[in-house]
Each structure stands twice: as structure tokens, then as C-alpha cells.
């Protein structure tokens, strides 16, 4: 992937190495977020409002210039941080153009790099949960060690595989800005856990498709893709499919429990966005087949 020399986003906060207090936490971790989202599915409440009402204990900030570096400061002498800032910059440029063409204004998310665990408006985020987007504070959170895990554990190496992960999380921010989640809440009635999981899968697959749209549009504008990059992205989508992860962790698969989609589904929707470059092609909720 050709990324060196690209514009680095200023919407970066570097919390790596910052201590996080776990004792006496009220707000709960990402597990609490899952419970809140399931409650939203069952009751019809807006999950963003529920998440915003979660109390969060703030850890003391360490003193000194290393505490919570913002903008591109950490990226200046850190190639991995520079890569993240550049990819985020590409998402800002591309989605700003897409929104502008639709007569709308794009408000970019902030991306927080952390180590081990960090606080968010959605509770405690931990590296074991993987990268995530918190709609309550409109921020993307990522422990950069996940990229090593993506390469070693999931056998999905390459810088474009990493870019796909970032673009997927930004895709959730796009959903938030477009009101897709809240609109879905208003349109549906009560549902069981299987129905809630189905809605979650559609959200995740749409974010995959949005990641593909970003890649296509950015390549058209900046020629970022090199030979093998698309294969890296498809390998990453395959590696983190629910069926692949369940088979690896417990030796069997239960499709009704999927929350992100199968490997084949994730590849299909990422490829759809990549081939079309059109966000309108990403309507997973209206699709007859996922």
C-alpha cells in the first residue's frame, strides 16, 4: 500500500503507556456495552442514548509531556503511528468528498491509540476486545498490538489489512452520522436474541462494505493500492469472520450466534464496496441475501 507522504490526520490521541485505574469502576467495560446494546435491541431504545448515560470513572492522567499526546505528535518518529494517522487522514478526505457530493457535511471521528486498556464513553475498552468504535464519544479505539495479532494469529499480514481494520471502524462512524442505527431502532419491533444478532451482522457487513467503498474511492484519488493489497484486505475479512473465529476457539460453529457475519459474507460485502465505490450499494438491511 502506498501511504508514505500522505496527509496525517490531526484527530489522533496517543494514550499508549498511560495507566488505567480498574478499581471501583462503575461504567463497566465493553461487556457492559454489549449488554446495553442487547437491551436496546429488545426494548427499542436508542443505544446511543443508553451509552451516553453510562457513568465512566476517569483514571488519573500521568504528568509530563508524554501524557495523551494529541494530533500527529507521536506519529512523527513512530512508523506505525504514522501509518495509522495517514490512513485516518485518507478516510477523512474520502468520506468528506462523499458527504459533500451528497450535500452533507462529514464530521470525522477521533482515533485513540492505547496499550492494554483505556477509558471511553462506552466504558473500559481492552485490547482483548479488538478495535472498536464508541458512538457515545464518536471515537475509534485501537491497541496497535492488534496488528501484530492480525498478522500472527489470524494470518492476515500486510499494511492494507491494517488499513481495512481502521476503515471498518470508521465505517461504523459513518453509520452513526447517517443515523442508520437510530433509524433501524425506530423501524423494528421487539425481537429475540437471534433477531438482535441478525441486525448486528447487517451493521457489521455494511461497515465492511463502507471500508471497500473507502478503498476504491481513495485509490481512484491517490493510487494507494499496490499488487496484492486487495488480497490482503480479503484475507483480513476472511480471518475475522464469526465462523472462522468460532471454529478456532471452540471447534464448532453456531450461525444463530453470529454478530459480525461469516467469512464469506464479510468478503462479499467488502468486495461489493470495493468494486462499486458507491455507499448506496451497501444496503445490507434491504438485501435479499447477505
What would the pLDDT profile of 5-60 be if each residue is shown by its tens digit? 999 999 999 999 888 765 433 333 444 444 444 444 333 444 444 444 444 333 33
Task: Confirm whether 2 is domain-assigned.
Answer: no
pLDDT at 189: 55
Across residues 161-178, what is the average pLDDT?
97
Nearest by Cα to 162 from 139, 138, 141, 146: 146
Task: Confirm whether 60 is domain-assigned.
Answer: yes
Q: Determine the structural domain holding residue 35 and report its residue range.
A: 12-282
Q: Who wins on pLDDT, 34 or 216?
A: 216
* 140 class by beta-carbon count within 10 Å (0-12 exposed, 13-18 middle, 19+ buried): buried
Residue 173 CA to residue 182 CA, distance in Å, equals 13
Task: Confirm whether 77 is domain-assigned.
Answer: yes
pLDDT at 44: 40
Indicate if the pLDDT at residue 280 is higher than 90: yes
Cell for 3? 501511504
Task: Confirm whether 274 is domain-assigned.
Answer: yes
* Cut 0.85: pTM above it: no
Q: What percent of the chain has pLDDT over 90?
A: 59
Task: Confirm whether 287 is domain-assigned.
Answer: no
What would the pLDDT profile of 131-160 be if each residue is shown by its tens digit? 999 999 999 999 999 999 999 988 899 999
What would the pLDDT profile of 29-40 be if each residue is shown by its tens digit? 444 444 444 444
Task: Confirm whether 23 is domain-assigned.
Answer: yes
Task: Confirm whether 1 is domain-assigned.
Answer: no
Q: Who wins on pLDDT, 61 or 205?
A: 205
Task: Confirm whether 288 is domain-assigned.
Answer: no
Query: How many structural domains comprise the chain?
Result: 1
Amino acid at each position: 500500500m502506498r501511504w508514505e507522504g500522505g496527509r496525517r490526520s490531526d484527530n489522533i490521541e496517543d494514550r499508549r503507556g498511560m495507566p488505567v485505574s480498574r478499581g471501583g469502576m462503575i461504567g463497566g467495560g465493553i461487556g457492559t456495552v454489549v449488554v446495553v446494546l442487547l437491551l436496546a435491541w429488545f426494548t427499542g431504545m436508542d443505544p446511543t442514548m443508553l451509552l451516553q448515560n453510562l457513568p465512566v470513572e476517569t483514571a488519573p492522567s500521568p504528568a509530563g509531556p508524554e501524557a495523551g499526546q494529541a494530533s500527529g505528535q507521536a506519529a512523527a518518529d513512530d512508523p506505525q503511528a504514522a501509518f495509522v494517522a495517514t490512513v485516518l487522514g485518507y478516510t477523512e478526505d474520502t468520506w468528506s468528498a462523499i458527504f459533500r457530493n451528497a450535500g452533507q457535511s462529514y464530521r470525522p471521528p477521533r482515533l485513540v491509540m492505547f496499550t492494554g486498556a483505556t477509558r471511553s464513553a462506552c466504558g473500559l475498552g481492552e485490547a482483548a476486545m479488538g478495535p472498536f468504535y464508541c458512538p457515545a464519544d464518536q471515537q475509534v479505539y485501537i491497541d496497535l498490538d492488534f496488528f501484530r495479532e492480525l498478522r500472527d494469529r489470524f494470518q492476515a499480514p500486510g499494511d492494507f489489512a491494517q488499513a481495512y481494520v481502521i476503515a471498518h471502524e470508521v465505517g461504523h462512524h459513518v453509520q452513526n452520522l447517517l443515523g442508520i442505527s437510530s433509524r433501524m431502532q425506530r423501524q423494528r419491533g421487539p425481537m429475540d436474541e437471534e433477531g438482535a444478532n441478525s441486525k448486528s451482522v447487517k451493521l457489521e457487513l455494511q461497515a465492511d462494505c463502507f471500508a471497500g467503498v473507502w478503498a476504491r474511492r481513495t485509490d481512484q484519488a491517490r493510487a494507494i493500492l499496490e499488487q496484492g493489497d486487495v488480497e490482503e484486505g480479503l484475507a483480513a475479512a476472511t480471518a475475522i469472520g464469526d465462523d472462522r473465529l468460532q471454529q478456532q476457539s471452540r471447534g464448532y460453529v453456531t450461525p444463530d450466534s453470529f454478530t459480525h457475519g461469516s467469512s464469506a459474507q464479510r468478503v462479499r460485502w467488502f468486495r461489493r464496496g470495493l468494486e462499486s465505490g458507491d455507499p448506496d450499494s451497501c444496503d445490507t438491511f434491504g438485501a435479499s441475501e447477505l
